[in-house]
């Protein structure tokens, strides 16, 4: 793989950009791999990358039924933060945030990481107490956050209305090194690095069955034929329950659409990410000038990737009070992504009842921020056969034992 650099750009400019090679190969599948990972989104590709980088395991296939990064990785609002209350959550999200800091250099691919800062508004006295508690917990977890007052909120985000008639801004939990990254670039960068290590990324290849013998996985049936493997990783977000059923077990997850939208591009007016949990909406501005707006999940289980007018109306109506200027903007486009929600709104990173089969799912509405840390933890577990420190708290057995990591209660929102 040729390295990207300023010199490479100059060299290719001299020959009219005719010498660029494909970022990743598109091979036909082999009959057998050491590891097969189902799902070529951010989490699946990160798992493959860290299997190769950290453990030297490169006889790996990443199988994707659609196109690379075409699921939730390309359908989110790109928020990166680690200011969670529970210790297990804070550990894996802070690992992920710290990996994002140098990911462009690690992958030799610009993921456009922007540590612009994330603030989570407190618009009720209950939220003030909750965010102050989280700030104290983060201090013990070595996660740098602070609770700031409304004047500081206004200074960081001048377009905000802190004197709302229903929900005035009383302060915010502020993480200065949180931010955003380019979602497509994260998937493309990992894919390029995996391909350079000799891994096969196989698109348009749907898994139709899981093969096993003696209680252990032996391979998968796909639309491109049988593919054998010694170990299987299932990393398919909203379709986790479908793949689990193929493998002979059930998951405590529900699949629900999460919707978002962007406005028409406007001049720069906001260089932070703001999350407003009381009215339930969040807002940032993209590099292209679009206002990126997200809200909550649908109120019913579904597998749709379409947006709906009533949900857009509900989300925008809630945000207009806090950000009056968005009332004058036109919507450019909207979309939905299929998220898998657990009962405690925390992920599952775990071995499964089928031997040598591992699953990474249940990230709900907050999967993008976790991609590097999730891949790191999943690769460690698949290489060693048992969950490491980052994954240990997120096992399937916690639901049977009643040992929940309840971020829906801790954070008040699952984002």
Same domain for 42 and 158? no
For residue 346, is pLDDT > 90?
yes
Same domain for 305 and 275? yes
pTM: 0.95
Range of the domain at 198: 6-13+27-81+85-107+183-252+344-410
SS3 261: strand
> Which residues are within 8 A (CB) of 37 and not within 5 positions of it... i.e. 6 or more apart?
44, 47, 48, 60, 61, 62, 63, 232, 233, 235
For residue 42, is pLDDT > 90?
yes
Q: How do residues 65-124 score in pLDDT, each as one tens digit?
A: 999 999 999 989 999 999 999 999 999 999 999 999 999 999 999 999 999 999 999 999
113 in a structural domain = no
Same domain for 322 and 389? no
> Which residues are within 8 A (CB) of 129 and not within 5 positions of it... i.e. 6 or more apart?
none
Same domain for 245 and 329? no
CA 167 remoteness from chain centre = 29
Nearest to 189 by CA among 76, 68, 306, 294: 68
Q: Number of folded domains in the chain?
A: 2
For residue 412, is pLDDT > 50?
no
112 in a structural domain = no
Confidence (pLDDT) at 409: 54
Q: Is pLDDT larger for residue 398 or for residue 317?
A: 398
Inter-helix orientation angle 183-196/42-55, to 10° = 40
19 in a structural domain = no
User: What distance in Å separates the CA atoms of residue 377 and residue 370, rounded to the nearest whole number?
Assistant: 10
Would you list the DSSP string of 26-85?
-PPPPSEEEEEEE--SHHHHHHHHHHHHHH----EEEE-SSSTT-SGGGSS--EE----S
Mean pLDDT of 224-252: 96
> Mean pLDDT for the chain?
93
Distances (CA, A) of 398 to 2, 37, 241, 367, 370: 45, 24, 18, 20, 20
Confidence (pLDDT) at 203: 97
For residue 336, is pLDDT > 60?
yes
Same domain for 335 and 187? no
18 in a structural domain = no
Nearest to 179 by CA among 121, 102, 117: 117
What's the angle, vertex CA 341, arms to CA 50 and CA 182, rounded to 5?
50
Cβ contact 403:343 at 8 Å? no
Nearest to 296 by CA among 330, 352, 328, 339: 339
21 in a structural domain = no
Q: How do residues 142-192 score in pLDDT, each as one tens digit?
A: 999 999 999 999 999 999 999 987 889 999 999 999 999 999 999 999 999
Cβ contact 45:191 at 8 Å? yes
Residue 354, φ and ψ in degrees, nearest 5: -90, 120
Same domain for 93 and 233? yes
Same domain for 189 and 259? no
């Amino acid at each position: 793989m040729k390295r990207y650099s300023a010199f490479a750009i100059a060299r290719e400019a001299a020959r009219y950009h005719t010498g660029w090679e494909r970022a990743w190969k598109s091979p036909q599948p082999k009959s057998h791999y050491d590891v097969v990972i189902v799902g070529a989104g951010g989490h699946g590709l990160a798992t493959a990358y860290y299997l190769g980088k950290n453990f030297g395991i490169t006889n790996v296939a990443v199988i994707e039924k659609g196109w690379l990064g075409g699921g939730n990785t390309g359908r989110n609002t790109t928020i990166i933060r680690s200011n969670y209350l529970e210790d297990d959550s804070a550990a894996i999200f802070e690992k992920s945030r710290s990996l994002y800091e140098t990911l462009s250099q690690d992958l030799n691919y610009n993921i456009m990481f922007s540590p612009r800062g994330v603030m989570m508004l407190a618009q009720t006295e209950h939220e003030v107490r909750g965010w102050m508690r989280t700030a104290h917990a983060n201090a013990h977890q070595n996660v740098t956050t602070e609770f700031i007052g409304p004047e500081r909120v206004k200074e960081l985000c001048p377009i905000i209305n802190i004197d709302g008639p229903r929900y005035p801004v009383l302060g915010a939990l502020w993480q200065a090194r949180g931010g955003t990254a380019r979602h497509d670039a994260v998937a493309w960068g990992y894919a390029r690095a995996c391909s350079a290590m000799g891994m096969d990324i196989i698109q348009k290849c749907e898994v139709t069955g899981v093969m096993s013998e003696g209680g252990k996985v032996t391979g998968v049936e796909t639309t491109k034929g049988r593919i054998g493997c010694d170990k299987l990783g299932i990393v398919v977000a909203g379709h986790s329950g479908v793949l689990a059923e193929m493998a002979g077990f059930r998951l405590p997850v529900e699949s629900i659409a999460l919707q978002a939208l962007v406005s028409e591009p406007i001049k720069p007016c906001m260089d932070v990410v703001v999350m407003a949990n009381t009215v339930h909406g969040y807002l940032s501005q993209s590099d292209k000038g679009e206002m990126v707006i997200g809200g909550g999940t649908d109120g019913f289980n579904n597998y749709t990737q379409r947006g709906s007018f009533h949900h857009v109306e509900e989300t925008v109506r809630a945000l207009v009070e806090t950000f009056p200027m968005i009332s004058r903007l036109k919507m450019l486009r909207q979309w939905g992504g299929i998220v898998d929600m657990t009962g405690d709104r925390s992920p599952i990173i775990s071995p499964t009842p089928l031997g040598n089969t591992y699953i990474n799912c249940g990230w709900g509405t907050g999967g993008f921020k976790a991609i590097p840390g999730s891949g790191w933890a999943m690769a460690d577990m698949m290489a060693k056969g048992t969950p490491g420190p980052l994954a240990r708290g997120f096992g399937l057995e916690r639901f049977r034992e009643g040992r929940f990591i309840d971020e829906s209660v801790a954070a008040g929102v699952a984002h």
